[in-house]
């Protein structure tokens, strides 16, 4: 079990205990976290699950693939250095994840 | 309740208090979510035939067949979500009859799917939503009832196909999205697959020639034996009624499993029983409202005006896609919650076939020019633009998700993209999305 901390643009935070192996996107959608759409179900097809990952957790994940990197350039909210598509961030045992949700996904 | 009485008199239409959705798939779940996010405080009842909690159907032909995910992880929402949002989810019940009153209220009668009992429950509504989906189209040749003939629509179908893949060669009848996704997955599992497509090219209804040819080459590279313009004559069986092959023109192809993937038919029987207008689908307007103004319908079962920035009331389409289910559900929820219309984005589709990602935005059919954007340095990528009177009207992308997002954005925003800009691979397409001024400075 690991926890995901979802911080909304308005400062409201929601903490979800997720299932290891599932993504930050799936965990959000299944639990009704506002602002993460995940329209394509995690197939790297839509860029509607954009998040800003906590700076000190960036190294806990492998770097974005070329496609993810390109897609972030086309996200509805401008990308930052810590932008990721949350469908590509998989939960791992004992490792909490903190993400901030951008103001718009569509 | 005085409010309800007034609604039922038909004189003063008040907000509905009891919504029943027939169906519990993607459109139904999204509808329930959108209804709650629009502030709807009444009861929301979803009635589904399958015993599984609503799940993500596009994964069936890929991740689920590979055994990479469980049924639980396919779920569209967690179990808690339904209770947290006060959404009543009834599974394993089939709607057999609907009593519908002129004022929009009525009663839905169901039976248990697995016990064969007659009507067991009934649900009162003052607003009815049909999300009845579609069923695999039947193939009219001998042998389709043989042991080893499978379809791929439900998680149970996917489960039986998965169990069979190791037992011998598979013949896929139909070269559309489902058949091709399954074929690619079976190849990745080390299986032998032949795809029979009756038409002269793959995905004939969904993509243009350049994209179809590109995907055909991809499948052949993956080791899928694709045979175009080849219609099966019969499914051959052994003495025990099990599949042993498929007969095509003077040739028998050995198979222990046959997957029939020749498209779907919308489930319209309930709509017809209510007297709703149907034409190869339940006819709805751009918001999901049926010919009987108090009933709505959403998802694969519907036929609607061509959506997008330029809503085309003259062209009606049936769209089988997650995007459509989501968009129609959101529109219908706004109607029920009494909210004004919102602008619908251009329809889009995707299909992952092995490691080939196909994405489509907009609908073709009105175009007068096709422009192919390909870069010899990136042979696995293809982008095709369809232009109508010089304006981009649709696009198909293979392994180019960022280009796809840029083009979908341009279609939604009405951004002018010329055929020349489109074909010029020296500039990235995402640049087209930038405002004209910064584009000018970027190229200066």
* pLDDT per residue as tens digits for the range B244-257: 999 998 899 999 99
Question: In which band, very low, low, confident or very high, does the pLDDT at B285 lie, cut at 50, 70 and 90?
Answer: very high
The pLDDT value given to residue B37: 94
Judge whether A21 is closer than 8 Å to chain B, CB to CB. Answer: yes
Say what the pLDDT of residue B1 is: 35
Which residue in B423, B427, B425, B420 sits closest to B443, CA to CA? B427
| Min distance A101 CA to chain B CA atoms (Å) | 18
- Which of B59, B402, B430 comes nearest A67 by C-beta? B402
Q: Which of A30, A43, A71 faces B405 most closely, judged by CB atoms?
A: A71
Chain A residues within 8 A of B77 when measuring between CB atoms: 29-32
Residues B403-421 have pLDDT tens digits of 999 999 999 988 889 999 9
Residue A75 has pLDDT above 60, yes or no: yes
Instruction: Say if residue B440's pLDDT is above 60.
Output: no
Banded pLDDT at B441 (limits 50, 70, 90): very low
Interface contacts (A, B; CB < 8 Å): 63
A36 vs B: CB within 8 A = no
pLDDT digits over B306-326, tens only?
887 677 778 899 999 999 999
**Among B16, B2, B3, CA closest to B105:** B16
For A71, the closest of B59, B322, B402 (CB atoms) is B402
Who among A29, A30, A47 is closest to B405 (CB)? A47
pTM: 0.93
Q: Are B25 and B134 in contact (CB under 8 A)?
A: no
Residue of chain B with shortest Cα separation from A40:
B322
pLDDT in tens, B343-377: 888 999 999 999 999 999 998 888 999 999 999 99
Q: What is the DSSP letter of A105?
A: -
Report the residue of B402, B407, B412, B427 to disrupt the A interface, i.e. the one with the largest count of A CBs within 10 Å: B402
Q: Is the pLDDT of residue B4 over 80?
A: no
**CB-closest option in B76, B81, B350 to A45:** B350
* Secondary structure of chain B in HEC code, one letter for each residue: CHHHHHHHHCCCCCCCCEEEEEECCHHHHHHHHHHHHCCCCCEEEEECCCCCCCECHHHHHCHHHHCCCCHHHHECCCHHHHHHCCEEEECCEEEEEEEECCCCCEEEEEEECCCCCCCCEEEEECEEEECCCEEECCCCCECCCCECEECCCCHHHHHHHHHHHCCCCEEEECCCHHHHHHHHHHHHCCCCEEEECCCCCCCCCCCCHHHHHHHHHHHHHHCCEEECCCCCCEEEECCCCEEEEEEECCEEEECCEEEECCCEEECCHHHHHCCCCECCCEEECCCCEECCCCEEECCCCEEEEECCCCCEEEEEECCCCHHHHHHHHHHHHHHHHCCCCCCCCCCEEEEEECCEEEEEEECCCCCCEEEEECCCCCCCCEEEEEEECCEEEEEEEECCHHHHHHHHHHHHHCCCCCHHHHHCCCCCHHHHHCCHHHHHHHHC
Q: Which of B84, B351, B401 to mutate to test the interface with A (most CBs of A within 10 A)?
A: B401
Strand, helix or coil for residue A68? helix
Cα separation, B178 vs B172, in Å, equals: 10
Contacts of B433 in chain A (CB under 8 A): 74
Among the listed ranges B55-59, B293-297, B356-360, which one has the minimum average pLDDT value? B55-59
Instruction: Tell me if chain A has a CB within 8 Å of the CB of B71.
Output: no
The band of B185, judged by pLDDT with boundaries at 50, 70 and 90, is very high
Residues of A in contact with B30 (CB under 8 A): none
Q: Which residue does chain A place closest to B360, by CA atoms?
A: A45
B352 in A contact zone (CB under 8 Å): yes
- pLDDT band at B102; cut points 50, 70, 90: confident
Does position B237 have pLDDT exceeding 70, yes or no?
yes
B75, B359, B430: residue with CB nearest A74? B430
pLDDT in tens, B147-173: 999 999 999 999 999 999 989 999 999
Using a CB-CB distance cutoff of 8 angstroms, which residues of chain B are in contact with residue A21?
73
Q: How far is A59 from chain B (nearest CA, A)?
A: 24
Task: Decide if B81 and A19 are in contact by the 8 Å CB cutoff.
Answer: no
ipTM, interface predicted TM-score of the complex: 0.92
């Amino acid at each position: 079990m690991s926890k995901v901390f979802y911080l909304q643009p308005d400062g409201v935070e929601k903490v979800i205990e997720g299932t290891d192996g599932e993504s930050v996107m799936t965990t959000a959608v299944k639990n009704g976290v506002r602002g993460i759409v995940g329209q394509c179900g995690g197939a790297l097809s839509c860029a509607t699950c954009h998040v800003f990952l906590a700076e000190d957790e960036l190294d806990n994940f492998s770097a974005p693939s070329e496609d993810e990197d390109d897609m972030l350039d086309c996200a509805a909210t401008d990308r930052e250095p810590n932008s990721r598509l949350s469908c590509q961030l998989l939960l791992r045992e004992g490792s909490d994840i903190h993400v901030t949700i951008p103001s718009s996904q569509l | 309740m005085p409010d309800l009485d007034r609604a039922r008199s038909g004189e003063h239409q008040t907000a509905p208090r009891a919504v029943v959705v027939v169906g519990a798939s993607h459109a139904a779940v999204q509808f329930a979510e959108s209804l709650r996010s629009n502030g709807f405080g009444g009861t929301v009842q979803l009635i589904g035939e399958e015993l599984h909690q609503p799940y993500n159907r596009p994964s069936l032909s890929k991740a689920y067949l590979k055994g990479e995910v469980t049924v639980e992880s396919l779920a569209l929402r967690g179990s808690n979500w339904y209770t947290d949002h006060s959404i009543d989810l009834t599974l394993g019940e089939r709607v057999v009859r609907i009593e519908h009153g002129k004022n929009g209220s009525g009663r839905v009668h169901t039976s248990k799917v697995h016990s064969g009992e007659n009507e067991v429950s009934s649900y009162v509504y003052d607003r009815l939503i049909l999300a009845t989906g579609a069923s695999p189209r039947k193939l009219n040749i001998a042998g389709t009832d043989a042991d080893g003939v499978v379809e791929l629509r439900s998680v149970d179908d996917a489960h039986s196909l998965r169990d069979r893949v190791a037992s011998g060669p598979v013949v896929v009848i139909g070269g559309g999205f489902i058949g091709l996704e399954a074929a690619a997955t079976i190849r990745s599992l080390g299986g032998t697959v032949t795809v029979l497509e009756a038409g002269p090219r793959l995905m004939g209804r969904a993509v243009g020639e350049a994209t179809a040819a590109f995907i055909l080459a991809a499948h052949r590279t993956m080791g899928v034996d694709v045979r175009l313009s080849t219609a099966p004559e019969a499914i051959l069986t052994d003495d025990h009624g099990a599949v042993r092959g498929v007969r095509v023109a003077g040739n028998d192809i050995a198979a222990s499993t046959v997957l029939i993937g020749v498209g779907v038919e919308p489930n319209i029987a309930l709509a017809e029983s209510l007297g709703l207008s149907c034409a190869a689908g339940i006819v709805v307007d751009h918001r999901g409202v049926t010919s009987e103004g108090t009933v709505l319908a959403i998802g694969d079962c519907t036929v609607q005006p061509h959506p997008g920035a330029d809503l085309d009331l003259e062209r009606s389409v049936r769209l089988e896609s997650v995007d459509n289910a989501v968009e129609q559900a959101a529109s219908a929820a706004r109607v029920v919650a009494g909210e004004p219309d919102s602008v619908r984005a251009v329809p889009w589709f995707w299909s992952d076939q092995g490691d080939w990602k196909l994405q489509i935005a907009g609908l073709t059919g009105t175009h007068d020019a096709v422009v192919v954007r390909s870069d010899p340095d990136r042979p696995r990528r293809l982008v095709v633009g369809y232009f109508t009177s010089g304006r981009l009207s649709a696009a198909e992308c293979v392994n180019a998700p960022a280009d796809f997002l840029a083009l979908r954005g341009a279609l939604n925003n009405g951004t002018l993209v010329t055929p020349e800009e489109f074909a010029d691979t020296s500039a990235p397409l995402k640049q087209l999305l930038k405002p004209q001024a910064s584009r000018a400075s970027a190229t200066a």
